[in-house]
Structure 1
Amino acid sequence: MKFLRRCLLLIVLAALAVGGAAVWWLQAPLALAADSVEVSIEPGTSPREVANLWSQAGVRSNAFLLYEWFRWSGQARKIRAGSYQIGQGTTPRALLDKMVRGDEVLANVRLIDGWTFRQFRAELARAPDLKQTTAGMSEAELMAAIGAPGLPPEGRFFPDTYAFSKGASDLVVLKRAHRTMQRQLAAAWEERASGTPLKSMDEALVLASIVEKETGVASERGLVAGVFVNRLKIGMPLQTDPTVIYGLGPSFDGNLRKRDLQTDGPYNSYLRAGLPPTPIAMPGKAALLAAVRPDPTKALYFVAKGNGTSQFSDNLADHNRAVNQYQR
Structure 2
Amino acid sequence: MKKFFSYLIILLLIGTGAVFWGYQKLNAFQTQAINAQPEQLLTVERGTTGQKLAALFEQEKLLDNAQLLPYLLKLKPELNKIKAGTYSLNGVKTVQDLLNLLNSGKEAQFNVQFIEGKTFKEWRKGLVNAPHLTQTLQAKSDKEIFELLAIPDYDKAVYEWRNLDGWLYPDTYNYTPNSTDLELLRRSAERLKKALDKAWQERDENLPLANPHEMLILASIVEKETGIAAERAKVASVFINRLNAKMKLQTDPTVIYGMGENYDGNIRKTDLETPTPYNTYVIDGLPPTPIAMVSESALQAVAHPEKTDFYYFVADGAGGHKFTRNLNEHNKAVQEYLRWYRSQKTAK
- Residues 98 and 144 (structure 1 numbering): CA distance in 2 closer, same or farther, change over 3 Å? farther
Gaps of 5+ in 2: 153-158, 340-348
Asked if the contact 1:243–1:268 (Cα under 8 Å) also holds between the matched residues in 2, the reply is yes
Aligned residues: 324
Q: For residue 89 of structure 2, give the secondary structure of its aligned residue in structure 1.
A: strand
Q: For residue 166 of structure 2, give the secondary structure of its aligned residue in structure 1.
A: coil
The CA deviation at 1:158 is 1.3
Amino acid at match of 1:302: F
Match of 1:221 among 232, 240, 245: 232
The structure whose Rg is larger is 2
Q: Deviations over 1:292-324 (max 9, x none)?
A: 111111111111223322121112222222223
TM-score of the pair, normalised by structure 2: 0.81
Q: For residue 36 of structure 1, give the secondary structure of its aligned residue in structure 2.
A: coil
Asked if the contact 2:167–2:293 (Cα under 8 Å) also holds between the matched residues in 1, the reply is yes
Between the aligned partners of 1:242 and 1:51, the Cα distance in structure 2 is 59
Q: More deviation in 139-148 or 205-214?
A: 139-148
Between the aligned partners of 1:58 and 1:36, the Cα distance in structure 2 is 14
Between the aligned partners of 1:144 and 1:62, the Cα distance in structure 2 is 51
State the match for 2:181 in structure 1.
Answer: 170
Amino acid at match of 1:278: T
Between the aligned partners of 1:108 and 1:101, the Cα distance in structure 2 is 21
Amino acid at match of 1:287: A
State the match for 2:168 in structure 1.
Answer: 157
TM-score of the pair, normalised by structure 1: 0.86
Between the aligned partners of 1:63 and 1:203, the Cα distance in structure 2 is 62
Q: Deviations over 1:127-174 (max 9, x none)?
A: 344343322221123234445495431111111122223454333432
Match of 2:190 among 157, 179, 184: 179
CA RMSD of aligned residues (A): 2.9
The CA deviation at 1:126 is 3.1
The CA deviation at 1:250 is 2.1
Match of 1:29 among 15, 18, 32: 32
State the match for 1:308 in structure 2.
Answer: 319
State the match for 1:134 in structure 2.
Answer: 137
Residue 120 of structure 2 corresponds to residue 109 of structure 1: no
Between the aligned partners of 2:334 and 2:90, the Cα distance in structure 1 is 61
State the match for 1:57 in structure 2.
Answer: 60
Residue 281 of structure 2 corresponds to residue 279 of structure 1: no
State the match for 1:98 in structure 2.
Answer: 101
Amino acid at match of 1:231: R
Q: For residue 162 of structure 1, give the secondary structure of its aligned residue in structure 2.
A: strand
Between the aligned partners of 2:241 and 2:198, the Cα distance in structure 1 is 23
- Residues 51 and 248 (structure 1 numbering): CA distance in 2 closer, same or farther, change over 3 Å? farther
Asked if the contact 1:302–1:319 (Cα under 8 Å) also holds between the matched residues in 2, the reply is yes
Asked if the contact 1:80–1:100 (Cα under 8 Å) also holds between the matched residues in 2, the reply is no
State the match for 1:47 in structure 2.
Answer: 48
Q: For residue 88 of structure 2, give the secondary structure of its aligned residue in structure 1.
A: strand
State the match for 2:273 in structure 1.
Answer: 262
Residue 3 of structure 2 corresponds to residue 5 of structure 1: no
- Residues 224 and 86 (structure 1 numbering): CA distance in 2 closer, same or farther, change over 3 Å? closer
Paired-residue identity, %: 39
Amino acid at match of 2:77: S
Q: For residue 41 of structure 1, give the secondary structure of its aligned residue in structure 2.
A: strand
Between the aligned partners of 2:327 and 2:170, the Cα distance in structure 1 is 35
- Residues 145 and 101 (structure 1 numbering): CA distance in 2 closer, same or farther, change over 3 Å? farther
